[in-house]
Amino acid sequence: MILESLLNNSGEWLKGKGPDANIVLSSRIRIARNIKKFIFPCRISSQDRTKVLSSVNYARNKSNFLRNFVVIKMSDISLLDRQFLLERHLISQEHISAPEGKAVLLRKDEISSIMINEEDHLRIQVIKSGFDLQSSWEIANRIDNEFSKNIEFAFSPSLGYLTSCPTNTGTGMRASCMIHLPGLVMTKRINRVLELINKLSFATRGFFGEGTQALGNFFQVSNQVTLGLSETEIIQNLASIIQQLKNQELDARGYMLAKYKLSLEDKIWRALGILKSSRLISSQETLGYLSLLRLGSDLGIISNLEKEVINNLFIVIQPAHLQKIVKKELSYQNRDYTRAKILRERLEKISL
C-alpha cells in the first residue's frame, strides 16, 4: 500500500538537497480552487461532495500528468493513517475529521498532494526541499492547468478565483517557506523579527502549520494577501522576506560562534548525548535536541550526519509514525520509549 511505501522513504522535501537547505527546510505553494457548478464545501451536501470527487477523478484520468497521482479516500483509511498523512504535511488537520467524501491525490515522491473537499473543493499543494519557490510554483501551475482542461473553476473577472475564505480570493495562492532559525531564537532576536514580519502582512506559524507552535525552532512564513497581487508578485515578496531572514540567521550563527563557541558546542554535544542514551523522551523535547543537532551539522561541529537523516527524524518521531512503525497502538509512555529506541538506532553511527 502507498502508506507503507511512504513510511519507508523520505519525502523529497526532507532530503536537504535544495538551495539554502541549511536554513530553509522547504518551500511550499498551495492553490485553492472551487468547481463552478457546486456549492462550497462548508455547505455542500454529501451527495454533491461525492460528485466533486467524481469530477476531480474524471479530470485526473484524462490527464497523463495527473494519472500518476494515487487516490486515497479519507473514509477508506483509519484515523491513525490520516494522522500519519498530517504528520508528513500531506493533508491538513481539517481534512482528518468528517472523512466522508474527502480524498487526497498523492504523488509518490510527496512533492505534491491535492486535498479534495477540504475548505475548498481542491487544495493543490507542492512542497520542495530548500529555498525553491519558483520551481514549486511551476509544478503547482502545471497541475492547475491540467485540471482546468476538464473542470471549470469558480472565477470572477473582477475578483479572481473564488474561495471559501475571503482572504484566499484572488490568486487563491499561499506561498510559504519552513525556515530553521535557532540562531535568532538563541540570541533572543526572534520576537523582534516576527513582529516585523507580521507588520509586513506575512504570517508565521509552527512546524505543522496553522494553529501550531514553532517547535524545533522551525517557523513557517507565508503571504497573507492574495487579492490584487499576481502569483509572481506574491513569490517575489515572500522570497525577499525569506532572504532577509536567512541573512539574519546567518549573522546570529556567526555571532554565537565568535562569542560563545564553547558554550554552543557544549549544548550541541549534550543534545547528541541525550538523544543517543535516553530510554524515555517526549516529542517536544526531541524536537529541541534535533534542532541543535541540525545546527551542529550545518556549522560543521558534528560530522557524518546527513541532512536527510536529521530532517526525517523530525517526522518519524511523531506519534502516528511511531505506531505505524511498530504496527500497534501505543500508550504515551510506550511512545516515549519507542521514540528513544528509534533515535538511538538511527544516531548510532554518530560518535560523541
pLDDT in tens, 306-338: 899 999 999 999 999 999 999 999 999 999 999
Q: Tell me the percentage of the chain whose pLDDT exceeds 90.
A: 85
Dist CA 137 CA 279 (whole Å): 43
Pairing between strand 173-180 and 202-205?
Answer: unpaired
pTM over 0.85: yes
My answer on whether 127 and 52 are in the same domain is: yes
347 pLDDT band, cuts 50/70/90, is very high
Do residue 216 and residue 267 come from a single domain? no
Domain membership of residue 122 (yes or no) is yes
For residue 84, what are the CA distances in angstroms to 6, 222, 257, 258, 345?
A: 10, 24, 38, 41, 21
Range of the domain at 288: 262-346
pLDDT digits (tens, 9 = 90+) for 229-275: 899 999 999 999 999 999 999 999 999 999 999 999 999 999 999 99
> Of 217, 249, 281, which residue is a domain's last?
249
Q: Are residues 176 and 311 in the same domain?
A: no
What pLDDT shows up at residue 208? 64
Residues 333, 184 share a domain: no
pLDDT of 352 reads 67
Are residues 113 and 168 located together in one domain of the fold? yes
- Say if 183 falls within a structural domain: yes
Q: Give the chain's domain count.
A: 2
Confidence class for position 351, pLDDT limits 50, 70, 90: confident
Q: Which pLDDT belongs to residue 69?
A: 95
Quote the cell numbers at residue 326.
511498530
Does 112 lie in the same domain as 244?
A: yes
Do residue 299 and residue 153 come from a single domain?
no
Q: pLDDT category, 212, cuts 50, 70, 90?
A: low
d(CA 344, CA 321): 16
Question: Is pLDDT larger for residue 316 or for residue 351?
Answer: 316
Choice between 211 and 67, residue whose per-residue pLDDT is larger: 67
Q: Does the residue 351 lie in any domain?
A: no
The reply to whether 229 and 281 lie within a common domain is: no
